[in-house]
Structure 1
Amino acid sequence: MRDIYNRRNSIQWIQQEDIEYPEKLRPYKGMPKTLYVLGGLPDPSRPSVAVVGARRSTSYGDNIARQFSAELAANGIQIISGLAWGIDTAAHTGALEGGGETYAVMGCGVDVCYPAGNRKLYDWILQEKRGGIISEQEPGRPPLAGFFPARNRIISGLADLVLVVEAREKSGSLITADQALEQGKDVYVVPGRITDELSRGCLNLLKQGAGLADSPETLLEALHMTKNGRCKNRKNGKVLLAKDENIVYSWIRLQPVSLDELVKKTGFPTTKVLQTLVLLQLGGHIREIRKNEYVRTDSRIIDGEVFSNRGVTGKGEDN
């Protein structure tokens, strides 16, 4: 990681080979080789939700985005958006009002506040140290139309789930949703009236199988989180997981297992296994002891030997 200083802020310059580069972006092709950051990056150990939607939103859409983001942030979920007018602005504002963190992915340099009218929100994020400003564009670079569709892949890549609130039939929000689906992420949609132009994009996503977001609790449930910010996936001592998570988890023992072994055993693509491993780590079920080697959390490693709560299992044994 390298530091570039301007007159006001320290801009972090993070390259793919740096340890600080977001792990959630690494599995995907075409991600930026360099990220510029003011403030911080999302905590990889906590869930993140991208909230996107129309720039010319309605008061209904703004209120919903603000309410959902505030509720999610209050329960430990990080909110990611693009600092644009409309739904983005409402999402960032709600996250801050909910006492959480929010991250704005820009289509310009991180030291350029765009739109300029969102300067108060931009400063609120940085001055209160409640998130960060992120971009693949060099500092000082002005916003250009082509930068905005490109930045959407970063928004979806940093998120565990994407929420769309109001979108026209053709809109940038649908690009983010498409990117999320290609990355294997869940997409949820807030319903609107079928006669509204701003509902058409959302209705099309619902037809394609997107989830219906009728409350913040629906999203917490999708992330396996409770309203107190804790993981909601144990009952009577047994781990309760979604189907794909359960398949990957079943192949992880007290002995370390590599990413390559998990891909071979599950038959899943590498990207899908990586995404599932992130969810299992977020849920506290597994941990990465070395690069791309995983064990269940009810084990501990001492001098290369694996110990469980029941004692040593030894080297090379399958528990």
Structure 2
Amino acid sequence: MDTNAWLALAALPGMGAHRLKTLTDHAPDWPWGFLAALPAPAASALRLWLDHPDKSPLQASIDAARQWLEAGPDRHLLHRGHPAWPALLDELPDPPPVLWALGDLAALSGPGIAMVGTRKPTADGGRNARGFANDFASRGWCVVSGMALGVDGLAQQAALDAGGATVAVLGCGVDVIYPASHRALYQQLTQAPGALVLSEHPPGTPARPAYFPRRNRIITGLSLGTLVIEATEKSGSLVSARLALEQGRELFALPGSIHNVQAAGCLSLLRNGATLARGVDDVLEELGHWAEAYLPRRAEPQAAAPVQISSVPDAPLEREPDALLAALSTTPTPIDWLVQQTAQSVSECQQRLLMLELDGRVAQQAGGWVRLR
């Protein structure tokens, strides 16, 4: 499907991100398969656009999108099938159908770590945000956050200062600066090499409170793990923490004093199972295996070891005709790594995994897919 088709789907009435994900996962033929599977109002709207685009309200939004995209080389619209589409988002139950992007798409090529926290960090929290972000960026990791006041902005500024990659996901259009006080940071995020601004909302969309919790699912969804620097017990950062766990991603938190109200949320996360992060090495020790799909290949990649072991004595891996099954082991493997190793598309991998799951040969667990037999 081309960009116009994805824009049309995203604008259909009554079709949210979750319903579109459920539909597109079945990979129906375009457009007849979609017309047959869509609910009546959405199918009628799509048919009108296909037959008489000049009479369809969908065409106006498509024309506006095209006009915005053609205004500069740093403007992009991402969707499934786009070369820069982040495969990790396909693991979410409700990924955005399209993502508006402003800046350098190379920011999406490395492993991502979400860094979130309070808008009013202590001096120690601010130092930690800058220090962790600088270290991540220096080691080739992309710092993903929301350009918010406090920890978010400090982390992304530190990543930029280190010459590293960073992605800001906004709860408004990519051309809307929110908060306004981050104008200088926004300009760097849209102009610096390795920096990018993303949003699921069309350009010109103002910031609204309801958009920010949904924005958080993209921040954590783009990342292999989420690090909470400082957070109160009712912080919005705990929403991101919950989303990271629901998405099967690793969750990390910095410890703090029991007398510091800004550390109460992190202490609660640690008490409930989050991984303690004393430094960047603690995070990379947990995430290093998953990052192999992004980082430069070493002489002996960590991810290659499980593939050489088979629990089925009469079916050795070297004679395994199914490359996808051969790439799986008892260790959960994310789908983006499978895509890279098998040279198949995300859709092909998902369809084959479904068939193997129905056959009782694989299963999905937190962190990816495992081989059962």
**Structure 1 and Structure 2 fold alike (TM over 0.5):** yes
State the partner residue of 2:78: 14
Structure 1: gaps (5+ residues)? 295-319
What letter matches 2:251 in structure 1? V
Q: Residue 116 and residue 45 in structure 1: after superposition, are their counterparts in 2 closer, same or farther (change >3 A)?
A: closer
What letter matches 1:289 in structure 2? A
Q: Residue 198 and residue 279 in structure 1: after superposition, are their counterparts in 2 closer, same or farther (change >3 A)?
A: farther
Which one of the candidate residues 203, 217, 223 is aligned to 2:281?
A: 217
> Deviations for 1:240-287, whole angstroms, at most 9, x for unmatched residues?
56xxx966774594556355x479x8689xxx54x2x54578xxxx72
Contact 2:165 2:195 in 1 (8 A): yes
Structure 2: gaps (5+ residues)? 5-65, 311-315, 350-373
In 1, the alpha carbon distance for the partners of 2:220 and 2:308 equals 25
How far 1:13 moved relative to its partner?
2.0
Q: Aligned pair 1:290/2:344, yes or no? A: yes
In 1, the alpha carbon distance for the partners of 2:307 and 2:242 equals 25
Contact 1:23 1:44 in 2 (8 A): no
In 1, the alpha carbon distance for the partners of 2:261 and 2:138 equals 31
How far 1:99 moved relative to its partner?
1.6
Which one of the candidate residues 243, 257, 265 is aligned to 2:322?
A: 257
How far 1:18 moved relative to its partner?
3.5
> Deviations for 1:150-187, whole angstroms, at most 9, x for unmatched residues?
00000000001110011111121111111111111111
How far 1:56 moved relative to its partner?
1.5
State the partner residue of 2:128: 64
Match of 2:343, SS?
strand
Which one of the candidate residues 140, 144, 163 is aligned to 1:99?
A: 163
Identity of aligned residues (%): 35
> Deviations for 1:222-248, whole angstroms, at most 9, x for unmatched residues?
23289xx967998xx6x656xxx9667
Higher strand content, 1 or 2: 1
In 2, the alpha carbon distance for the partners of 1:209 and 1:231 equals 31
Which one of the candidate residues 80, 91, 98 is aligned to 1:34?
A: 98
In 2, the alpha carbon distance for the partners of 1:248 and 1:143 equals 46
Contact 2:115 2:152 in 1 (8 A): yes
Q: Aligned pair 1:174/2:228, yes or no? A: no
Q: Residue 217 and residue 279 in structure 1: after superposition, are their counterparts in 2 closer, same or farther (change >3 A)?
A: farther
Which one of the candidate residues 191, 194, 207 is aligned to 2:258?
A: 194
Contact 2:107 2:194 in 1 (8 A): no
Match of 2:158, SS?
helix
What letter matches 1:217 in structure 2? D
What letter matches 1:257 in structure 2? D
| TM-score (ref. length: structure 1) | 0.75
State the partner residue of 1:309: none
How far 1:28 moved relative to its partner?
1.4
Which one of the candidate residues 193, 203, 217 is aligned to 1:129?
A: 193
Higher helix content, 1 or 2: 2
Which one of the candidate residues 179, 196, 208 is aligned to 2:272?
A: 208
What letter matches 1:290 in structure 2? Q
State the partner residue of 1:305: none
Match of 2:88, SS?
helix
How far 1:130 moved relative to its partner?
2.7
- Aligned CA RMSD, in angstroms, stands at 3.2
Contact 1:224 1:233 in 2 (8 A): no
Aligned ranges 1:76-155 → 2 under 5 Å: 76-155=140-219
What letter matches 2:75 in structure 1? I
Q: How many residues are treated as equivalent by the alignment?
A: 275
